[in-house]
């Protein structure tokens, strides 16, 4: 039996349209890179265009796109990543090599980024009018009906993605090695296989790693501990990060010691309150977690070692309660990071508020626009004030954040200011202070 014919595949992580591109340093199209690994193992010729690849020491480029009006507020949107002319230039380089793809695979990592994918497909069709284009990722997974409406002639095949799910990501597709690697703790067949991948990437120059699973350690804590032990055993010199998928409830002294030895350096705690945890008990869990991290790992609160992520914009929330929670977490941890709630089609919460969300175009369901603000009886300006408060609490002096719940006179004055809501700017009073 003759071997299957080698084919050519072009993989694209597209540019995005958004107000901001948070966490861009740790953004990575893992699914697409796993597909690349699978296809190459099958003997195919694979090329990658990652329009959002971070370059060491540089921010991802952005250009002004347009402005949008939401509830009487105007917002500037940006085109982050490669411009369309850069895509065209790269395609022309491939054509000069007489390299033409048999199929093009495009990923999507947010549902509300679909417009940039639409414009990318338009560019691609100018060069490859009959080439098979396959769209995968979050957008068609959760919004298949919407995707079929906007992307006629595009396929939504998930079979290759399923076959590639347990594969390591293929960094050889990049011209230069990324500084960061995202991993999946529970997709690899064994802890040894996963650490082999970490070691291989570390040897090639990758220095930062994080697990992208929804939750770590997850149901099987032993898998996580096996990975940590193997990293220590092989003496890998790496930096590990927790990017918002670790609950403060999950820590114990033994696990903290192992995480420190393996190379964990920064912790961004998941916000369990959004999952129905009791607020008071939740604060107690943070106190215990910070104490464990300090005693058994040497991680220090009020530095960049530990950050509490706080979900805001959740339907039904009371901002006064959110302010109280932010201030208390700032006192316990020293640093808070506000994460806008992102409604995800198909989830139970989304279905619960389907009638409300159906009146909002998908591209405006961007969490950074706080789509539930009106539902909660607030304005976007109210959430802006909340963001300013968090920035104040995160302000650093001599490398550490200030304890606003301390007994010092300045802390007392700030607490009084917050209680009286004097942190809210009042336009009329502000105007009176301006020079005539």
Work out the average pLDDT over 278-302. 89
Asked if 329 and 283 touch (Cβ cutoff 8 Å), the reply is yes
Work out the average pLDDT over 311-333. 92
Confidence (pTM): 0.87
Of 299, 329, 360, which residue sits at a domain end? Answer: 299
Q: Please check whether residues 152 and 185 belong to one and the same domain.
A: no
> Is 307 part of any domain?
no
Q: Please check whether residues 33 and 154 belong to one and the same domain.
A: yes
pLDDT at 187: 84
pLDDT at 430: 43
Q: Please check whether residues 37 and 147 belong to one and the same domain.
A: yes
Q: What is the number of other CB atoms lying within 10 angstroms of the CB of residue 42? A: 15
Beta strands in 297-373 (DSSP E): 306-312, 336-340
Give the count of alpha carbons within 13 A of 118, CB side only. 14
More confident residue, 250 or 415: 250
pLDDT digits 0-9 by tens, 218-268:
888 899 999 999 999 999 999 999 999 999 999 999 999 999 999 999 999
pLDDT bin (cut points 50, 70, 90) of residue 393 is confident
pLDDT at 412: 63
> Is 38 part of any domain?
yes
Of 251, 268, 299, which residue sits at a domain end? Answer: 299
For tokens 């977690």, the residue is 289
pLDDT at 402: 54
pLDDT at 282: 82
**How many domains does the chain divide into?**
2
Of 239, 266, 299, which residue sits at a domain end? Answer: 299
CATH number at residue 208: 3.30.750
Q: Please check whether residues 83 and 142 belong to one and the same domain.
A: yes
Q: Please check whether residues 142 and 41 belong to one and the same domain.
A: yes
pLDDT at 420: 63
Q: Which two tokens stand for residue 133?
A: 């284009």
Q: Please check whether residues 91 and 189 belong to one and the same domain.
A: no
> Is 75 part of any domain?
yes
CATH number at residue 23: 3.40.50.280
More confident residue, 231 or 54: 231
- Does 276 have pLDDT greater than 70? no
The radius of gyration computed from the CA coordinates of the chain, to the nearest angstrom, equals: 24
pLDDT at 130: 95
Work out the average pLDDT over 74-79. 96
> Is 341 part of any domain?
no
> Is 66 part of any domain?
yes
Q: Please check whether residues 107 and 134 belong to one and the same domain.
A: yes
pLDDT at 256: 98
> Is 120 part of any domain?
yes
More confident residue, 220 or 43: 43
Q: Please check whether residues 126 and 81 belong to one and the same domain.
A: yes
Q: Please check whether residues 194 and 115 belong to one and the same domain.
A: no
> Is 251 part of any domain?
yes
> Is 321 part of any domain?
no
Greatest alpha-carbon span in the chain: 89
- Does 159 have pLDDT greater than 90? no
- Does 277 have pLDDT greater than 80? no
Q: Please check whether residues 156 and 190 belong to one and the same domain.
A: no
Which residue segment(s) compose the domain that 255 sits in?
179-299
Asked if 261 and 298 touch (Cβ cutoff 8 Å), the reply is no
Q: Please check whether residues 12 and 143 belong to one and the same domain.
A: yes
Q: Please check whether residues 19 and 107 belong to one and the same domain.
A: yes
pLDDT at 165: 87
pLDDT bin (cut points 50, 70, 90) of residue 427 is very low
pLDDT at 431: 43
Work out the average pLDDT over 119-125. 97
pLDDT at 433: 45
Q: What is the number of other CB atoms lying within 10 angstroms of the CB of residue 162? A: 9
């Amino acid at each position: 039996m003759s071997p299957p014919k080698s084919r050519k595949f072009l993989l694209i992580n597209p540019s995005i349209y958004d107000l901001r591109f948070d966490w861009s340093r740790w953004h990575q199209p893992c699914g697409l890179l796993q597909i690349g690994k699978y296809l190459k193992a099958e003997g195919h010729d694979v090329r990658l265009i990652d329009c959002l690849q971070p370059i060491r020491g540089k921010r991802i480029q952005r250009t002004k796109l347009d402005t949008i009006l939401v509830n009487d507020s105007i917002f500037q949107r940006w085109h982050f990543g490669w411009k369309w002319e850069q895509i065209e230039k790269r395609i022309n380089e491939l054509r000069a090599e007489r390299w033409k793809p048999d199929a093009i695979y495009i990923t999507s990592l947010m549902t509300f980024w679909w417009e940039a994918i639409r414009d990318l497909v338009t560019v691609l069709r100018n060069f490859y009018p009959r080439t098979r284009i396959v769209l995968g990722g979050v957008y068609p997974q959760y919004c298949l009906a919407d995707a079929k409406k906007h992307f006629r002639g595009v396929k939504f095949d998930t079979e290759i993605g399923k076959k590639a799910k347990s594969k390591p990501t293929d960094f050889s597709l990049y011209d230069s090695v990324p500084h960061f690697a995202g991993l999946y703790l529970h997709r690899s067949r064994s802890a040894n296989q996963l650490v082999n991948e970490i070691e291989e990437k570390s040897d090639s120059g990758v220095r930062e790693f994080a697990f992208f699973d929804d939750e770590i350690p997850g149901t099987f804590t032993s898998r996580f501990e096996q990975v940590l032990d193997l990293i220590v055993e092989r003496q890998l010199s790496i930096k590990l990060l927790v990017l918002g998928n670790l609950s403060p409830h999950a820590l114990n002294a033994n696990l903290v010691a192992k995480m420190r030895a393996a190379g964990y350096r920064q912790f961004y705690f998941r916000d369990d309150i959004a999952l129905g945890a009791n607020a008071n008990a939740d604060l107690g869990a943070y106190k215990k977690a910070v104490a464990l991290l300090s005693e058994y790992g040497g991680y220090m609160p009020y530095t960049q070692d530990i950050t509490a992520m706080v979900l805001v914009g959740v339907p039904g929330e009371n901002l006064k309660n959110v302010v109280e929670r932010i201030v208390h977490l700032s006192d316990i941890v020293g640093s808070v990071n506000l994460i806008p709630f992102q409604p995800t089609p198909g989830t139970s919460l989304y279905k619960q508020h389907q009638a409300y969300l159906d009146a909002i175009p998908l591209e405006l369901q961007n969490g950074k626009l706080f789509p539930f603000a009106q539902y909660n009886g607030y304005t976007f300006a109210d959430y802006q004030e909340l963001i300013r408060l968090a920035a104040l609490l995160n302000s650093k002096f001599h490398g550490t954040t200030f304890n606003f719940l301390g007994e010092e006179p300045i802390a007392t004055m700030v607490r009084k200011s917050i209680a009286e809501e004097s942190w809210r700017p009042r336009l009329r009073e502000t105007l009176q202070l301006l020079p005539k």
